[in-house]
Each structure stands twice: as C-alpha cells, then as structure tokens.
Structure 1
Amino acid sequence: MTLLEARDLHVEFASRGRRARAVDGVDLTVGEGEIVALVGESGCGKTTLARTLLGLERPASGTVLYGGAPLAYSARALKAYRREVQLVPQDPTGSLNPRHTVYEAVAEGPRIHGLRDERERVASALSRAGLRPPERFFPVYPHELSGGQRQRVVIAGALALDPEVLVADEPVASLDASVRGEILALLLRLRAELGLSALVVTHDLGLAWNIADRVAVMYLGRIVESGPVEQVLSAPSHPYTQALLSVLPESPAPIVLSGEPPDPTRIPGGCRFHPRCHVLAAGKAAEAGVDGLCRSQPLEVLPSSAALQAACHYARARQPRL
C-alpha cells in the first residue's frame, strides 16, 4: 500500500528575474513499512522535494498524496497531516532549543496537537529512541548530550506523535562515524517494531545501501534512476549514479565529473546530464548511436515504480532487445 506519493511534482522559485526549477517533474512513492533513499549531490533538489512532501513548500504543479488523498493546504489540514508525516532534521543541535529541556523538546508536538497523557508519551518516545531510562533525560539540556543523543531526542520528538512516515533529511550527516551505525540501526528497528515508513534524504550511497529498500537518484530536479537498492547500487545504469558510486572507498577508480551542476534556471536541452556525462565525453554514446539523442532529445519523467529504471538514452540502447 502506498502511503506517501509525489505525482508529476514541480516546484519553482524566483531567481534573478528567472524561474529556478528546483523540482522539475518527479513521481515518487513511499509504501507502507518501506524505507526509500533519495540520493544526489548538493543542489539537486532533494531537500526541496522533501520539504514539499512535508507540506512546507507548495508545488507549482503536480500533487502530493497521502493515503491516496491529495494534500490540502489549509492550516487545519496541514496540522493533521504533519502528525502523520514527521520531519527528522539534519542538524539536531540547531533544531533543539538550548533553553528547553529534553522533556520540553519532546513534549512540544503533543502539546501543539492537544494530545493527552503527555508524560507517558514523552517517556515512551524517549525509550523507543533508545534513551533509557527516559526519566533520567527529562531535566537534561541539549548541551549536556552527545551528538548521537541529541539526534535520538529529535527522533523521539517525532515519535511522540505516533506518525506513519518519517522524512529524515541527512539524519547522520552531522554525527561521528561511530554513532552513525547506531542511528541507522534505530531507524531499522523502528520500522520493524512500529511499521514506520521513511524517506531518507542523503548524499551518501553507502547509507542508502545499509538502510533502504529502494533508492531514487536525483539530478537537477528530476529522478534519473530508481529501483531496488541492491540492483541500483550493484549495477547502476545511469552514468550519474555510476559517478556517485565511484567515490566510495571500495570503488576501483573515481569518476570525476566536469564542472558544477547546471543552473536550475537554465536546464540543458536533451538529457539534462549530458554536459557533464563521462560516457558521452568518452565517445561511448556515439558508438551506441545515441549521442545526438543525448544532446537534443529530453527524457520523460520516470514513473513511480518498484522496477529498476533509468532516464538515459545510452543505458536504454544497451538493453537487450527481446
């Protein structure tokens, strides 16, 4: 069952008299009990997509659906929706009020939503997040906690509302390597125990490999490859995914992309990746007879599907024909 869905989503911002297409046609689903990783380099639009799925940004066109129903943007509807779909922010230090105790931080959500049994909710959420005994953390301030403990407090704040979906934006980026595994294990345990679904936004493909069921690779406002995590990351089809994977320590040689990601106000014609594509630059696309398509023929939006798929002329030319 699909819980959260983006359908042909477009998000634009004004930029120096032009329109920046931060999200430029995205279909994406998060199923019940499923963890989906959204990966890509900085500036590709993944955080804007996550904020739009949370109702924090309003799309220029397209639809966000929850439980099959389009998201409404009235204050009352958004308040009810955000109890079901909760954010786990990237920086726990910045998101926690230094003047509030752990108890006050976790109790904030239940108070906003007028939920009863506040103390029991806070204790249960802290315990589920791995802070035990929870009462010991009630009077503690954020500066008295380690980075991993602060991230657990942020997760507890989301759990206090009994959500169905977590949207985690770079949930371990600010943590030491020794703590990252603990937080990832916590997210997997929450999925197993509570049936939680999650969209994990990250630039780290190693993290996606360890936690996700499916992965969606985003470039310049659009998903360019998606599918089961084992298939995408063990044999990537899109040259951009290959380049992202090549920087992992076990990769034989890194693929260095030329230049920076293009300006989202001036998205290139043809394949949006072609100005930086190492496959095109090396002449492999020409050998396959698709170099002209790469430079001139735009690729369609990838549908939301569990199957392996890539928006790449070269990858499609190499697929065996039945």
Structure 2
Amino acid sequence: MSSTETDPPVSSEPDGTDPVSTPLLSAERVGVAFSAGFAPGGTSGTARAVDGVDLHVGRGEIIALVGESGCGKTTLARVLLGLERPTEGRVVFEGDALGYRSRDLKRYRRRVQLVQQDPTGSLNPRRSVYESVAEGLRVHRGTTVDEAERVGEALARAGLRPADRFFARYPHELSGGQRQRVVIAGALVLEPEILVADEPVASLDASVRGEILRLLLELRQELGLSALVATHDLGLAWNIADRVAVMYLGRVVELGSVEEVLSEPAHPYTRALLSVLPDAASEEGPVVLSGEPPDPKRVPGGCRFHPRCPILASGEAERAGVAERCRTEDPLILPGGDERRVACHWAAADAEGRLPAAGP
C-alpha cells in the first residue's frame, strides 16, 4: 500500500518539483476523442474514448485500472505510453509534461515500457528469444558489447533460467507462460521505471496466471518497478494492486486502495463488477446490469451510468433524495491522488460525508 500523502498539483517545470511527493507518472485531465463518421441524423459523431481522467502512479506502486471492455482502459494506457496523443489534458512524467518529438518519445519509452496482452501476437515467430529481447536494446541504445549479458539478465529476472538455454528458441517452442515471460524480459532489458500492462494474463491458462502475477510483484520488490495494469478482472486487482481505479465510459468513477474499493465498493458499477466474483458472492447474488454500455458518441446526460444503475432502478436513489441529480447532474471528474473518491451522487449521500465527493 502506498503511504504517499495526497498528491499536490504537479508542476511541469523541473525546478521546484519534489521527487518524493511528485508522482512518477500522471494523467492530468486527459481526454481522447475520435472522429466516428456520421451519427444518426446526419451529424458528424465524436467518440470520447477517454473523457477527463486524473490518475497518478507513485514510485513502486501498482495500480489496477478496471472496467468492462470498451470503457477506455486500453486507450488511456496507450496515452500513458505516448502511443496516442491526448486531445485534452496532458501526461506528466517525473513532474515534466511529456513531449511528442521523436527524440522525446524515444527517451521516454526507455523508461516506460509496455507489456502486451497476447504474447503470441506480440512476438515475431521468425525471431529467436534472444533477438526478440535484444530488439529494444538495439533500437534505444545501439549494439553494445554487453548485449548478451543484458539479455540474459532480463530473461533471468523474468523467470527464464538458465537464460542461455532460451536464447536460440522460437516462440512456437515455448509455452504460453514462457512467451509472456519473454515479452516481460523484452521490457525489462531497457531497465524501465514503470510497466504499463494491458490485460497481461488474459490469454493465459489459469495455472499460469498466478505465476505471472507473482513475477510482477517480485519485480516491484526487487527493482522498485511501478506498474499500471489494465484489466477487466477485479480478482486480479485484489491479488496484485495497491490501488484501484474503476473506469466506466471513459471516466474514473471510483478510486482508492484495493482494500477500500474491493472490500467496501461505493459506486454501484463497482458493486456490480465485484458481485460476479465467486469469493464476493452475496445472498442477493450477482448484480446484472441492464443493457450494454452506451455509445461513447452519445454519452448520457447526468451521471453517465444512470441508464444502467440498479440503485436508481430500485428506488434507493429516490429515497436518498438524489434521483433527479443522477439523471441531470454530471458528477465532476475525480482528482488524482491517494484519497478514496467516488463519482456518484448516491454514494456521497449514503456515506454522509465519510467519502470525499467528486471534485477538488
């Protein structure tokens, strides 16, 4: 669990930043909008894949970014990697705003590395394990005399030992777990400070998932690595994360420590996601949300979750006196930081001030 106090505003100037209190990586009011052709009625549509996200990742911290498919997790991860440029807001690394010139991005990507979801698709079948791991080293630092040593160290840290036995192998000769370890080694060879992992175990067998999650925790302990792990699996978040950010339709709707969010979920959406886990089953059973997530070109007015909200449908929001606000008033964007926060009118009223409401 991170012990950092609530994060102060981050300055983009190198002078005056505090390396202890300044988050390692931040999204500040990040928005990403895509042109989506023509919407009904003949008007041009704009899909807001990410719609104002504040999120900080501290040094040595693991944050789980959870939500349904299509909620914006992958797009936000791409923005944090510098693969996608935000249409609003900015990415800040060590107190400095990310630049998008080629040399700026090249320098940045040595320190912030991606771990992809599908190890089979991300590894070139015609390249040996050695070539796959060494590729990043050659791109970013040129061929060096200690290349074999660096590749061997990365493979060993990723749990492939003795490393030299894997140098000449090809992806088809490895198991799924071994391929994912090669992908992780390819990120580690550059000695990054943070990993951004997009569904890192989704394609793996259940017997292997725990090994990869344990590896990520070991890397944090041994190397001080930070990580942002995008996943739809709250069970994964429980096992690996310090903090959890729950996304819905491009927004973070609940944020807090893993114990706070998963033991006492405040947002109805988080409760619904958690209710389907076997260990979290209640007498009421799983919460079944009605319908599909709305089209990001047509975000509902008021709280964007209200058309599917079981609290509103059951009358609980009406009894709490917030039903009209749910339908008409958009909860403010949650600020980043370590403090527990929820973007929900009903949760704020139900907590009677114990939870900070949305807003600064």
TM-score (norm 2): 0.89
Which of 129, 132, 136 is the aligned partner of 2:158?
A: 129
User: Does residue 177 of the first structure (1) align with residue 206 of the second (2)?
Assistant: yes
Shift of 1:320: 2.5
User: Does residue 308 of the first structure (1) align with residue 335 of the second (2)?
Assistant: no
Counterpart-to-counterpart distance in 2, 1:59 and 1:175: 31
Secondary structure in structure 1 of the residue aligned to 2:276: coil
1:190-242 Cα distance to aligned partner (Å, 9 max, x none)? 00000000000000000000000000000000000000000100000000000
Identity value in percent: 69
Letter in 2 for 1:123: G
Q: Which runs of 5+ in 1 are unaligned?
A: none
1:147-193 Cα distance to aligned partner (Å, 9 max, x none)? 00000000000000000000000000000001000000000000000
1:244-268 Cα distance to aligned partner (Å, 9 max, x none)? 0011012121000000000001100
1:96-137 Cα distance to aligned partner (Å, 9 max, x none)? 000000000000000001252111110000000000000000
Shift of 1:33: 0.3
Q: Indicate the residue corresponding to 2:195 in structure 1.
A: 166
Counterpart-to-counterpart distance in 2, 1:11 and 1:114: 31
Q: Indicate the residue corresponding to 1:41 in structure 2.
A: 68
User: Does residue 152 of the first structure (1) align with residue 184 of the second (2)?
Assistant: no
User: Which runs of at least 4 in structure 1 moved beyond 2 Å after TM superposition?
Assistant: none
Q: Indicate the residue corresponding to 1:210 in structure 2.
A: 239
Which of 278, 286, 289 is the aligned partner of 2:321?
A: 289
Secondary structure in structure 1 of the residue aligned to 2:161: coil
Which of 289, 295, 298 is the aligned partner of 1:257?
A: 289
1:15-55 Cα distance to aligned partner (Å, 9 max, x none)? 02311000000000000000000000000001000000000
Letter in 2 for 1:172: V
Counterpart-to-counterpart distance in 2, 1:318 and 1:282: 15
User: Does residue 269 of the first structure (1) align with residue 296 of the second (2)?
Assistant: no
Which of 240, 244, 258 is the aligned partner of 1:229?
A: 258
Q: Indicate the residue corresponding to 1:190 in structure 2.
A: 219
Which of 51, 64, 70 is the aligned partner of 2:78?
A: 51
Structure-to-structure mapping, 1:240-251, within 5 angstroms: 240-250=269-279, 251=281
Moved more, 227-236 or 246-255: 246-255
Name the Cα RMSD after superposition.
0.8
Q: Indicate the residue corresponding to 1:83 in structure 2.
A: 110
Counterpart-to-counterpart distance in 2, 1:81 and 1:206: 31
Q: Indicate the residue corresponding to 2:249 in structure 1.
A: 220
CA distance change for structure 1 residues 86 and 220 in 2, over 3 Å: closer, same or farther? same
Number of aligned residue pairs: 322
Secondary structure in structure 1 of the residue aligned to 2:141: coil
Q: Which runs of 5+ in 2 are unaligned?
A: 1-19, 38-43, 355-360
Counterpart-to-counterpart distance in 2, 1:261 and 1:320: 29
Shift of 1:305: 1.8
Counterpart-to-counterpart distance in 2, 1:135 and 1:165: 26
Shift of 1:321: 4.6
Q: Indicate the residue corresponding to 2:134 in structure 1.
A: 107
Secondary structure in structure 1 of the residue aligned to 2:75: helix
Secondary structure in structure 1 of the residue aligned to 2:47: strand
CA distance change for structure 1 residues 321 and 212 in 2, over 3 Å: closer, same or farther? closer
Counterpart-to-counterpart distance in 2, 1:226 and 1:133: 41
Q: Indicate the residue corresponding to 1:13 in structure 2.
A: 34
Q: Indicate the residue corresponding to 2:92 in structure 1.
A: 65
Letter in 2 for 1:61: E
Shift of 1:319: 1.6
Counterpart-to-counterpart distance in 2, 1:259 and 1:64: 33
Letter in 2 for 1:214: R
Shift of 1:7: 0.2
CA distance change for structure 1 residues 139 and 34 in 2, over 3 Å: closer, same or farther? same
Secondary structure in structure 2 of the residue aligned to 1:131: coil
